Structure 1
Amino acid sequence: MALFSPSPARPVALGRELALALIGAALITLGAKIQIPFWPVPMTLHSLAVFFLAAALGPRLGFAAMAAYLAAGAMGLPVFSGSPERGIGLAYMVGPTGGYLAGYLLGAGLGGRLAEGRGAFGRFLAMLAGLTVVYATGLAWLAHFVPTSSLLAAGFLPFILGDLVKLALASGLVGALARFKGRGQ
């Protein structure tokens, strides 16, 4: 008798998880490319996609989707907001928004973990914790490019209102998806 006999279901589950992560990366890319007129700056749906996926798929697959998105960007695919016009690949990733990209990876894992089993308001707070990580890493990295006196005006104030709206929307969408899945069983 073998000590380890792989289950035939494991490769199927692994393939399903890989597919979900890749579909998630595609949704993040789509969110990064969609621009909505907003004040004071146009907004993309990038953070909506990241935190929706983290809460809907869970921390591991949410993290994997964001990692796949970053890997695609590092390979030079124009997945990021403003790419290819503002650059592609690693050159884009080490630019002013690089800290935010790293923060999304960490924030997706944290937000997804904290959102597990929570209601709408709890999910919103979990996503807010993840977004806090995004802003903390993003602003720390942006400080290499922008004077400290201008840091909040450049990397926080123009975006926070839109991000809060997107988190509320993401929390509601996760709840709606859970209700929809519950009816199908």
Structure 2
Amino acid sequence: MSTETQQVELIGDEVVGNLVRAALLAALTGAFAYVTFPNPASPTSVTLQVLGVFMSGLLLGPVWGGVSMTLYLAAGAVGVPVFEGAAAGFGPLVGTTAGFLWSYPLAAIAIGAIAYGGIETDADLDAPLWQLIAALVAGTVIIYALGAAGLVVLGNLSVEAAVVGGTLTFLPAEAVKATVAVGIVRADELSAT
């Protein structure tokens, strides 16, 4: 009787590693939803969720960054309290701020594509600073364009109210988050100098 066995690799190590990183950044984005700061110019608080979107695009690239944010939305949809205010389920995905949430995968894809110069990603992100800034600006535009559209359609706000109260008042906080994201991505370069 032969005891010889064969091992079949169903999923490659690279895919498993990327999936784990995507899940970790999705979880981090969910944890960031619990960190809120009052916004004196808006009834809505500032959260750190967008920092998770920025980090997903920059650290994982367009494909896995998009996967990460899709996992984040899926976790919330099935009942994990990962949305602002420990919310979960389909309510936040169809409520007044749904446009912001649905924009996260698209923004992560755009950020990754711009930062890496396309769909293919290298192990190291070596984009110049201007390219990282352009990526984060593009991601922010996507998040706030879809977020404002959601506020108009689902929140019955005027376009002016959605743009001013739902986007412009949050831009200073987004600039801080973008600075933190670039600092994290460039931390190894900064520590070497």
Shorter-chain TM range is: 0.7 to 0.9
Moved more, 37-46 or 136-145: 37-46
Deviations 1:118-176 (A, max 9, x none): 22232011111111111111111111211234222321122111011111221121111
Does 1:30 pair with 2:31? Answer: yes
Matches within 5 A, 1:71-86: 71-84=74-87
Which of the residues 118, 136, 141 maps onto 2:145? 136
Aligned to 1:3: none
Helix, strand or coil: the match of 1:82?
A: helix
- Distance across 2 between alignment mates of 1:104 and 1:177: 26
Residues 41 and 165, structure 2, Cα contact 8 Å, conserved in 1: no
Deviates more, 1:107-116 or 1:33-42: 33-42
Which letter does structure 1 place at the counterpart of 2:92?
A: Y
How far 1:69 moved relative to its partner?
Answer: 0.2
1-structure distance, mates of 2:159, 2:12 = 50
The equivalent residue for 1:96 is: 96
Equivalent pairs, count:
174
2:161 aligned residue: 150
Deviation at 1:48, TM superposition (A): 1.1
1:12 — aligned with what?
13
**Hey, what does 2:62 align to over in structure 1?**
59
Instruction: Give, in whole Å, the separation in 1 of the partners of 2:64 and 2:189.
Output: 17
The share of aligned pairs that are identical, in percent, is 32
Q: Displacement of 1:179 after TM fit?
A: 6.5
CA drift of 1:46 comes to 0.9
Residue identity opposite 1:101 in structure 2: L
Q: CA RMSD in A?
A: 2.4
Answering whether residue 192 of structure 2 is matched by residue 164 of structure 1, we say: no
Larger Rg: 2
What residue number does 2:47 align with? 44
Q: Distance in 2 between matches of 1:61 and 1:27?
A: 15
Give the residue type in structure 2 aligned to 1:25.
A
Deviation at 1:50, TM superposition (A): 1.1
> What residue ranges of structure 2 are gaps of 5+ in the alignment?
1-6, 117-125
Contact kept in structure 1, 2:33 and 2:86, CA below 8 Å: no
Q: Is the 8 A contact 2:72 2:82 kept in 1?
A: yes
Give the alignment's TM-score, normalised by structure 1: 0.83
Query: Quick check: 1:63–1:106 contact (8 Å CA) kept in 2?
Result: yes
Match of 2:123 in 1: none
Kept in 2: contact 1:25–1:69 (CA 8 A): yes
| Normalised TM-score (structure 2) | 0.80
| Contact 2:26-2:52 at 8 Å conserved across structures | no
Q: Structure 1, residues 72-123: CA drift from partner, whole Å, max 9, x if none?
A: 0111211001233xxx311111101111111111011001110114222320
CA displacement at 1:14 relative to structure 2:
2.1
More displaced 10-residue stretch of structure 1: 148-157 or 132-141? 148-157
Give 1:13 shift: 2.1
